[in-house]
A and B are shown apart, each in its own frame.
Chain A
Amino acid sequence: MDWEVVIGLEVHAQLNTATKIFCGCSTAFGAEPNSHTCPVCLAMPGALPVLNAAAVDKAIALGLAIGAQLNRKSIFARKNYFYPDLPKGYQISQYELPVVGRGQLTVQMGDGIEKVIGVTRAHLEEDAGKSLHEAFVGQSGIDLNRAGTPLLEIVSEPDMRSSAEAVAYLKKLHALVRYLEICDGNMQEGSFRCDANVSLRRPGAPFGTRAEIKNLNSFRFLEKAIEYEILRQKDILESGGSIVQETRLYDANRDETRSMRSKEEANDYRYFPDPDLLPLVLDEARIEKVRQGLPELPDAKRERFMQQYQLSAYDAGVLTAGRDLADYYEVVADGVEGKLAANWVMGDLLGALNKAGVEIQDCPVPAEKLRLLVQRIEDKTISGKIAKDIFEEIFHQGGEVDAIIDSRGLRQITDVAAIAAMVDAIIAANPQQVAGFRAGKDKLLGFFVGQVMKASQGKANPDQVNALLLERLQKAD
């Protein structure tokens, strides 16, 4: 009998505010250790937290984007535990009444299948500092620059049933926070991180005992950690054992999850309302102001791309997966045929970026330049094949589209007499193939087209070549 995997994700998104959540210290990354600290985030006696308005607005934006219930009154609570990177001995978080209540996210799986994943809640909290273990013997160094950075913890329902669904959900959420510009989404630097709750059950049975996997800082690690965890739990259950509810750490080097037993005892956080903070009240004006400022969201953009540019659901999905790519595409598609622009962006451009390991934001070919290149195909100045060569050149060495076309003489040959001369020469030089074609080997047309294109160094207009070849070949001697 089969096992069904049940997955829920907890995502911590670092909100890209200028200052920390409860004090006016900068959140800029990479500063000298402890240079972005003050009595509040260092937990000096008597220091009091004051909530950052921008953190609240960013939480509201996420709530609106996932169609969530926004709690008009939410409460900050203390989560108590001891660790040196947590100076107060508690983390200010939200527990019983989070700012964002129940919402949902729709993910697109392959084959046009959509799945709705429930979001249980999202709450505001502060990040901890960083411990550095390497530089000191028998001691750890503590940098509290990150302590107090605002986080939005987004908790899903246990609605996912495969690692692919979990990855699709995480990608969608990642795209969403980037669209909303509430988080920079940098997973390597830890601005967007994920814990996964994974359990197995027989289909239809109650949920099994779950393990919580920490330290998943890429989409690939999420997938691999879940796959590993499914096998581990299956082994235990099928040999008659039972799963221990525990926290496990994913080790990417060994591709396995490991128990973090020592953390278990500490798992009693004794939450209680923080007396230093009053209830957070959201009024309609505040919510409305955030709503007015919302950008077009991925689902709406996808629908619009399908309508406006006549794209398939798949193409529109790829192009709107990230806001930067979608913006790039729209510049290219402004004035050229939508599907042709999509082919170039999804094919040549993404291929080249992928190969070079470059993100779209740092693309060496500006969108306006790619648009001009596509326009030169459309106005028949160059062939698609030549355009690919020019694109490669601009991607790696830079340069201007028209200048390259002119200086290298790449202009497409559309002069009928010139093409006809080439066609005649090729026909004269290949009597055997001509005989073959006339005997019914239609496929030989490709051979002739190839020969003519080669003779013209790729510059002959392929449509004209085709037409002339057919005309000459079908004419009997």
Chain B
Amino acid sequence: MAFDQDAVRRTAHLARIALPQEEVPAVAGQLEKIMALVEELRAIPTEGVIPMAHPLDLEQALRPDLVANQDARQRLMANAPAAEHGLFLVPKVIE
């Protein structure tokens, strides 16, 4: 799969990474190599192999539905850059 410069810019945008234009060709080249490796892996016949979602052969443990956390808002919000009336403040996001 080709990883051209458009794909690099799009991926960077989706990940909210500010990628300077001059770095795009180099990153495209690097990602192209990674994709080549993925292509190699894709060529391996995997028919009849059960897809593995997790490397550990374990099951998800379940937790009983009991409230375990007390209000710790003040402590949890202590490192928020901006907060008011118990709300986190962020730049306006309405469309």
A24 engages B60 (CB within 8 Å): no
A51 engages B68 (CB within 8 Å): no
Taking the closest CB of chain B, its distance from the CB of A79, in whole angstroms, is 12
Q: Select B56's contact among A36, A142, A278, beta carbons within 8 Å.
A: A278
Determine whether A23 belongs to the interface, using a CB cutoff of 8 Å to chain B.
Answer: yes
B87 engages A23 (CB within 8 Å): no
A25 engages B73 (CB within 8 Å): no
A140 engages B89 (CB within 8 Å): yes
A141 engages B68 (CB within 8 Å): no
Nearest B residue to A42, CB-CB: B76
Contacts of B72 in A (CB 8 A): 37-38
In the complex, which range does the number of interface residues on chain A fall in? 35 or more
Determine whether B82 belongs to the interface, using a CB cutoff of 8 Å to chain A.
Answer: yes
Q: Select A51's contact among B54, B62, B91, beta carbons within 8 Å.
A: B62
Nearest A residue to B86, CB-CB: A33
Contact with A along B58-95 (1 / 0, CB 8 A): 11111111111101110011000010111111111111
B67 engages A26 (CB within 8 Å): yes
Determine whether B14 belongs to the interface, using a CB cutoff of 8 Å to chain A.
Answer: yes
Determine whether A275 belongs to the interface, using a CB cutoff of 8 Å to chain B.
Answer: yes
Contacts of A17 in B (CB 8 A): 65
B87 engages A34 (CB within 8 Å): yes
Alpha-carbon gap, A83 to B54, bound state (A) = 27
Given contacts A17-B65, A18-B66, A75-B53, contact A37 B87 (CB under 8 A): no
For A33, A76, A80, the residue with the greatest tally of chain B CB atoms inside 10 Å of its CB is A33
Interface pick from A131-139, A166-174, A366-374, A428-436: A131-139
Alpha-carbon gap, A156 to B73, bound state (A) = 39
Contacts of A34 in B (CB 8 A): 73, 76-77, 86-88
Alpha-carbon gap, A97 to B53, bound state (A) = 10
Nearest B residue to A139, CB-CB: B89
Determine whether B16 belongs to the interface, using a CB cutoff of 8 Å to chain A.
Answer: yes
New A-B contacts (20) at CB < 8 Å, excluding given A52-B62, A143-B87? A24-B67, A25-B67, A33-B86, A34-B88, A50-B63, A51-B60, A52-B63, A54-B65, A83-B93, A131-B93, A139-B89, A140-B89, A144-B88, A265-B13, A268-B14, A277-B54, A278-B54, A278-B60, A280-B59, A281-B60
Which 9 pairs of residues, A with B, have the shortest CB-CB distance?
A24-B68, A141-B87, A54-B65, A53-B62, A142-B88, A278-B60, A33-B86, A281-B59, A84-B90
Residues of A within 8 A of B (CB): 17-19, 23-26, 32-39, 42, 44, 50-56, 75-76, 80, 82-84, 96-97, 131-133, 135-136, 138-144, 260, 262, 265-266, 268, 270, 273, 275, 277-281
